[in-house]
């Protein structure tokens, strides 16, 4: 691998558990603001969690087809350092956030379909700092299912991406063996869980250590 991979632990919903996960020093921790998700959090809970996240860990709010002004307000009220946009409107939403002078990091989360890979390879001036490729699903992620990562060999865009979708202790070696010049990190969620929104500390620690040991 050309450089050290970043680690994002997503779907944290319990204050004490999130603080324990943050103590393992992943690069990013994510909170989901999508009510249908079993890992959804309220703004109040997210504030409580964010207050216990050290400054060396970036907090990410995950939103699905949410109004840009609402995202902006939520991010400011919690003090989020990044947002992850999902659904069908994330490109226009990200542009609107930029127009509103949102200065934090923006992830665009996309199902790894052939059409999306082509669009993201050829589009110019996309308003994202990072992309995240996930397993196609109606739930916008969190399925615990993987996809054929070889599809991403067809991604020729200039925005670095995170690999997501069912990555956990049992297939992390395979994920680490996957190479792509724009791969910059791994997003882990449901395969680390003791129950929805609560991560198993030992499992998470082992994955973070392996990613950091095996990526240069």
Residue with tokens 């956990």: 168
Would the pLDDT of 141 be above 60?
no
Over residues 24-81, the pLDDT tens digits come to 999 999 999 999 999 999 999 999 999 999 999 999 999 999 999 999 999 999 999 9
Listed residue (2, 63, 54, 7) closest to 31, CA to CA: 63
Name the pTM for this structure.
0.94
Catalytic residues: 10, 134
Pick the more confident residue, 2 or 149. Answer: 149
Whole-number pLDDT of residue 188: 96
Tell me the pLDDT band of 2, cut-offs 50, 70 and 90: very low
Query: What DSSP letter does each residue of 55-100 carry, written as one string?
Result: TTSEEEEEEES--HHHHHHHHHHHT-SEEEEESS-HHHHHHHHHHT
Helix, strand or coil, per DSSP, at residue 113: coil
Using an 8 Å Cβ cutoff, are 128 and 106 in contact? yes
Would the pLDDT of 20 be above 90?
yes
Tell me the pLDDT band of 143, cut-offs 50, 70 and 90: low
Using an 8 Å Cβ cutoff, are 9 and 189 in contact? yes
Over residues 192-211, the pLDDT tens digits come to 999 999 999 999 999 999 99
Over residues 30-41, the pLDDT tens digits come to 999 999 999 999
Whole-number pLDDT of residue 139: 54
Rounded Cα gap, residues 53 and 155, in angstroms: 34
As a whole-number percent, the residues of the chain with pLDDT over 90 amount to 87
Would the pLDDT of 11 be above 50?
yes
Would the pLDDT of 176 be above 50?
yes
Tell me the pLDDT band of 1, cut-offs 50, 70 and 90: very low
Type and span of the H or E element at 32: strand 28-32
Whole-number pLDDT of residue 147: 82
Tell me the pLDDT band of 136, cut-offs 50, 70 and 90: confident
Tell me the pLDDT band of 173, cut-offs 50, 70 and 90: very high
Whole-number pLDDT of residue 216: 58
Q: Which of 135-139, 155-159, 171-175 has the lowest mean pLDDT?
A: 135-139
Cα angle 87, 119, 99 (rounded to 5 degrees) comes to 60
Would the pLDDT of 86 be above 80?
yes
Exposed, middle or buried by CB within 10 Å (0-12, 13-18, 19+), for 40?
Answer: middle
Domains of the chain: 6-214 (3.20.20.70)
């Amino acid at each position: 691998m050309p450089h050290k991979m970043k680690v994002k632990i997503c779907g944290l919903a319990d204050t004490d558990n999130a603080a324990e996960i943050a103590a393992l020093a992943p690069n990013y921790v994510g909170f989901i603001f999508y009510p249908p998700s079993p890992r959804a959090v309220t703004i109040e809970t997210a504030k409580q969690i964010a207050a216990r996240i050290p400054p060396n860990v970036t907090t990410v709010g995950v939103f699905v087809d949410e109004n840009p002004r609402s995202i902006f307000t939520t991010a400011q009220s919690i003090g989020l350092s990044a947002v992850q946009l999902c659904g069908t409107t994330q490109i226009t939403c990200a542009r609107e956030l930029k127009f509103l002078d949102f200065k934090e990091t923006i992830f665009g989360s996309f199902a790894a379909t052939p059409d999306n890979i082509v669009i993201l390879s050829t589009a110019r001036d996309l308003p994202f700092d990072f992309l995240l490729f996930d397993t196609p699903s109606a739930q916008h992620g969190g399925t615990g299912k993987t996809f054929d990562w070889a599809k991403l060999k067809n991604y020729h865009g200039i925005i670095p991406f995170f690999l997501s979708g069912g990555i956990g202790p049992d297939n992390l070696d395979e994920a680490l063996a996957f190479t792509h010049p724009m791969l910059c990190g791994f997003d882990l969620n449901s395969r680390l869980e003791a129950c929805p929104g609560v991560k198993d500390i030992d499992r998470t620690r082992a994955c973070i250590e392996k990613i950091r040991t095996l990526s240069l």
